[in-house]
Amino acid sequence: MFDYLLFLLVLIPFLALAGWASARVNRVYARYDRVQTLSCMTGYDTATRLMRRHGVTDIAVNRVEGRLTDHYNPGKRLVNLSMSTYGSASVAAVAVAAHEVGHVMQSRTGYVPYKIRTALVPVANVGSRLALPLVLVGLLLDIFWTTAPLPYGQWAVYLGIALYGLSTLFMLVTLPVEFNASRRAKKMLIEENILTEEELPGASKVLSAAALTYVASMLVSLLYFLRFALVFASLVKRN
């Protein structure tokens, strides 16, 4: 019980950081969404122009519901821009659209962290959904099935920890992928005269705020994984 309370005390600041990062990205985006670009190019215009400039002609730009729901779907060959990005000619919208094109260029140039993250997506999706339930079920089985012929509970715990570990690895790999996409975005925006040097700091703030949300999520995930690793160590030691 003391160990769990200590874990909660450590977890609370990380959860607070994640909440603050989420609020910050919305606040920064809203601020620079009110600043119109001198080029008057929208998010759609930006994504289309940058891809055509780099010889990408087989990927479409699509509009999706929501705000800040922008993402690149390599399986469907779509750059999905949110309602707040697609038709807006703001500094914030242009920065986000260019960031998604940065992911397209990572895929085209064979950027290694991007390839690793893409390979981990199926396992990470399964791990994020099943890891915690498996660990909890495993612990319950280990408590109540003490007379079972096989250690079903421990196997469930080990499987859950392994899945969660893969999800944590996915989040770790995501960090260099996101930072690199932002660097590519800023470079392309200047090279194509979509943003001026004076407008670029605003775009940088939007991208940095978005990157911070990934850092906060990774820290929370890592903390949970360390907690599960201690559970694993205690089971091994007991055996």
Just list the catalytic residues: 100
Q: How far is CA 236 from CA 72, 152, 179, 239, in A?
A: 42, 14, 38, 5
Asked whether 97 and 70 are in contact (CB, 8 A), the reply is yes
First to last CA, the chain: 21
SS3 78: strand
60-64: strand order across its sheet: 60-64, 78-82, 71-73
Owner of token pair 């940088």 = 204
Phi-psi region of 110 (alpha: psi -120 to 50; beta: other; left: phi over 0): left
**Please, which residues have CB within 8 angstroms of residue 88's CB and are 6 or more apart in sequence?**
33, 42, 43
Owner of token pair 């780099």 = 54
Q: In sequence order, what are the beta bridge partners of 72?
A: 79
Residues 131 and 151: their CA atoms lie apart, in Å, by 18
